[in-house]
Structure 1
Amino acid sequence: MQSGASRSANVQLPAPAKSAVGSSVVGRFRSARDGALIMTSTGRDASLDAARGCLMMLGIVLHSASIYAVNGNWLIVGRERSYAFDLLVGAIHVFRMPAFFFVSGYFFALALSKMSAREVAIQRMQRLLVPLLFSFATLNVLQVIHSDVYHGRWWLQRLSTGQVPVYHLWFLVDLIVFTATLLVLMPILKRVRWFDSVPVPTPFGLLLGLSGFSFLTVALARLTPFAYDSVAGLATLFDLATYGPYFAGGALLFVRRDWLVIFLQTPIYFSIAAVPLAVFIHQSLDSLSRWQAEGMLAFCQVLVWVSIAGVLRLFRKFFFKATSFTTFLAEASYTIFLFHHLLVAVVGVMLMPFDMPAGINFALCVVIVFASTALIHLLLVGRFDVFSLLFNGKRTLKAVTRSRAANSRETRREMLPDRSTPP
């Protein structure tokens, strides 16, 4: 990461590879609209915006289901529970955060192809660090108070000792680490040209390569004596090694978009089968020997990458073009994610006095929290610059429009002749 150099002197991500094989594949599928393949330009991709937005919003479903899962150990536990919610929680865990980090890595590489490393670092730190710090100091503190009141504890004692968990904000911590790591490694990656000389693999070969990279990264982390030691309660090396390969994979497949085309040729029925199979394997690990369990965990890496391909294909099929809905997802998902964790707990407690089946409580919780968080974005975060900065790390769309209009007026004034002096 450089500080004082000009834009031209900064390290930038190399343009996507254009090998002979890759170019023919890309050209052949550039206009594909059947959802089986994806090929983006240097602009933003509506399907990936929709995917990232839905994956973030899926946190509402995940944490609402955790309340009513039989083996759930979330902040609150519902009176009526069902094993169906254990399966739902397990299924979401298979693909949600891996796919989210993959898309985040892709957009990171996209930004780095258009801006200098210094500009990307400033932009990403504002987008990640500001919401992390402010949400931690407000929403997480409120969540501690609510949790302690619910459990009959004295909340002031925990706050006075600084025992405020990071809760759902852990993903922002991970994104900051991944972003900083790739920016530091970028000069090296630029020299090796991101595997330009590596030929286009088969879909199966690419899946094995990505899965092997994930497994090797986790294995190396587990060999260290501090793999599970938390740094200030924010992250562990094991957690970073688990999700880092997905972020790196998304960045890599932006550069090698011929590989991305191949990756998304993964048969959709493989993806459909991968999620329940991974859930079954994770639930069966306790009955296996150590080495059998290790083998199954390695196989699960393949299943996760297959599920990522399935998620991207699904969104490519149904959200191929930008619409008002995809725009809303892209704009509001950050706010919805930050606020949902606290509101799921609050609404879950509010629903407990009502003698209703777990399924109805779950549905009500999801609908109420989604509507509430969407309104928070529409009426607060999306309208006022200060809240947009504090919770989204950016200015509102209205502020950007005003700034562009002001710049346009200034440009027009500069182009007008100066009438104060005679010709």
Structure 2
Amino acid sequence: MHDTVRFHYMDNLRALAMLAGVVFHAALAYSPLLHPYFPTADRAQSPAIDLVIWWLHLFRMPLFFVVAGFFAAMLLNKRGMAGLFLNRLRRIGLPLVIFCPLVIAAMSYSTLHAAAYVRNPSPVLLMIRQFSQMANPPAPPPGTGHLWFLYYLLFFYVLTWVARSLVPGKPGNFMRGLKPGWQLLLFPMLLAPALASVSAPHPAPESLFPQFWAFGFYGPFFVFGYLLSGHEALIDRFRGFAPWLLLASVALYGAFLYLLRRHVPTAASVPIALIEACISVWMTCVCLVAGRLLLNRSNRLLRYLSDASYWVYIVHLPILFVIQYRLMDMAWGWGAKFTVSVVATFAVCLLSYHLLVRKTVVGRLLGTRMPVAGSAAGA
């Protein structure tokens, strides 16, 4: 079946998760909660930003890792372990090695320039300005930036090989045998310890030193997606729960924001971790159900955006930083600045994709698909 059928809804969900990252990162500049910690933090802020973006943050990347696990299993069944590794090294490893140093260098350059010249700097820019005046300023720790997810995917592919070597057979039978209600209750409990070990909202694991909490949080989503492959009807088992999961998640999110105001952002809290885990799992399931119902189709626009989303996500943050640094000294409201930064970033990213990437070797590296009808699904 996997050789002839394209899972359009998985392609489209993955693209939406990546493209939503542009909106999320643009919004961080206007978040009161993140104002002390984000380089492009603007004097124009709004609590409405925090109300929306942390909701998206709780399930955007979990959904992405479910889709990544799904396609990993498909590749493994189709090409074997060697084929999976070769494909993932080309599609994940090479882009990480090539683009990570470039985007970090670009962001570092624009940030140092902004620290020197922006008249209304963020707290982070002020700190960088002070460090730059020292005789021997401290070097920033090595990291992967916003491409951290590629770094962890490589670990997950190796762990997939280890798990298949140690546990032959079909390890997913137990999970698939559980009733949906039990899955929806047990899955969050599995994630809560990892979330309780870090701040809330959970940070991006950008360090080159592997963060074990990230394995404990994102790993189960990858496994869940892996076990879904070949058993996509399992998503339909959640369909009847989806409206209730959405309502429960909204209610829990209200509790999450209330508890967040009572805690220092660097302090972990078991109740907050449990709420984060529940929303992450339940909203991921809602997205899978909605995607299977509404996005299981292809047209020229959806396919174009799906193909472009990888490039857009890789290059968007350096472009966004340049735009938002320019906006910091403008006396505009947060809404105007946010809109301009999102629209301009998408415009530059998509234009560069169309002119420089789509029909070039870079496009082939990132998996741009040729318009051949009936082609098999790929990751």
TM over 0.5: yes
Structure 2: distance between partners of 1:345 and 1:194: 44
Is 1:54 aligned to residue 16 of structure 2?
yes
Is 1:213 aligned to residue 190 of structure 2?
yes
| 1:243-282 matched pairs, under 5 angstroms | 243-275=218-250, 277-278=252-253, 280-281=255-256
**Secondary structure in 1 matching 2:83:** helix
| 1:1-400 matched pairs, under 5 angstroms | 43-72=5-34, 73-152=37-116, 153=129, 165-191=143-169, 193-196=170-173, 200-215=177-192, 233-275=208-250, 277-278=252-253, 280-281=255-256, 283-285=258-260, 287=262, 293-385=269-361, 387-388=362-363, 392=366, 394=367, 397=369
CA 278–231 in structure 1, closer or farther in 2 if over 3 Å, else same: closer
How far does the alpha carbon of each residue in 1:213-239 deviate from its partner, in whole angstroms, 9 at most, with x for none?
Answer: 3336667xx59xxxx9x8963531112
The normalised TM-score by structure 2 is: 0.81
Q: How big is the alpha-carbon RMSD for the aligned residues of Structure 1 and Structure 2?
A: 3.3
2:178 is aligned with what amino acid?
A: P
Structure 2: distance between partners of 1:151 and 1:315: 42
How far does the alpha carbon of each residue in 1:325-366 deviate from its partner, in whole angstroms, 9 at most, with x for none?
Answer: 221122111000001111111111122333211011101111
| Alpha-carbon distance, 1:244 to partner | 0.8
Are 1:203 and 1:263, in contact at CA under 8 Å, matched by a contact in 2? yes
CA 48–166 in structure 1, closer or farther in 2 if over 3 Å, else same: same
Are 1:102 and 1:247, in contact at CA under 8 Å, matched by a contact in 2? yes
**Secondary structure in 2 matching 1:71:** coil
Structure 1: distance between partners of 2:90 and 2:350: 22
Query: How many residues were matched structurally?
Result: 348
**Secondary structure in 2 matching 1:278:** helix
**Secondary structure in 1 matching 2:41:** coil
Structure 2: distance between partners of 1:234 and 1:254: 30
Structure 1: distance between partners of 2:285 and 2:14: 14
| Alpha-carbon distance, 1:185 to partner | 1.2
How far does the alpha carbon of each residue in 1:193-223 deviate from its partner, in whole angstroms, 9 at most, with x for none?
Answer: 124366643321121232233336667xx59
How far does the alpha carbon of each residue in 1:264-320 deviate from its partner, in whole angstroms, 9 at most, with x for none?
Answer: 4422242254146236425505748xxx94244224322211100111222233322
| Alpha-carbon distance, 1:389 to partner | 5.2
Runs of 4+ in 1 over 6 A off after TM superposition: 157-160
How far does the alpha carbon of each residue in 1:74-114 deviate from its partner, in whole angstroms, 9 at most, with x for none?
Answer: 12111211111112221111111111111111111111121
Structure number with the bigger relative contact order (C-alpha 8 A, sep ≥ 6) is 2
Higher gyration radius (CA): 1
CA 356–65 in structure 1, closer or farther in 2 if over 3 Å, else same: same
2:189 is aligned with what amino acid?
A: G
CA 294–372 in structure 1, closer or farther in 2 if over 3 Å, else same: same
Are 1:68 and 1:77, in contact at CA under 8 Å, matched by a contact in 2? yes
Mean Cα deviation higher: 114-123 or 254-263? 254-263
| Alpha-carbon distance, 1:254 to partner | 2.0
CA 256–159 in structure 1, closer or farther in 2 if over 3 Å, else same: farther
| Alpha-carbon distance, 1:138 to partner | 1.2
2:185 is aligned with what amino acid?
A: L
**Secondary structure in 2 matching 1:322:** coil
Are 1:173 and 1:235, in contact at CA under 8 Å, matched by a contact in 2? no
CA 315–137 in structure 1, closer or farther in 2 if over 3 Å, else same: same
Structure 2: distance between partners of 1:346 and 1:88: 24
**Secondary structure in 1 matching 2:59:** helix
**Secondary structure in 1 matching 2:332:** coil
CA 198–164 in structure 1, closer or farther in 2 if over 3 Å, else same: closer
Unaligned runs of 5+ in 2: 117-128
Mean Cα deviation higher: 274-283 or 116-125? 274-283
Are 1:144 and 1:164, in contact at CA under 8 Å, matched by a contact in 2? no
Structure 2: distance between partners of 1:159 and 1:339: 28
**Secondary structure in 2 matching 1:266:** helix
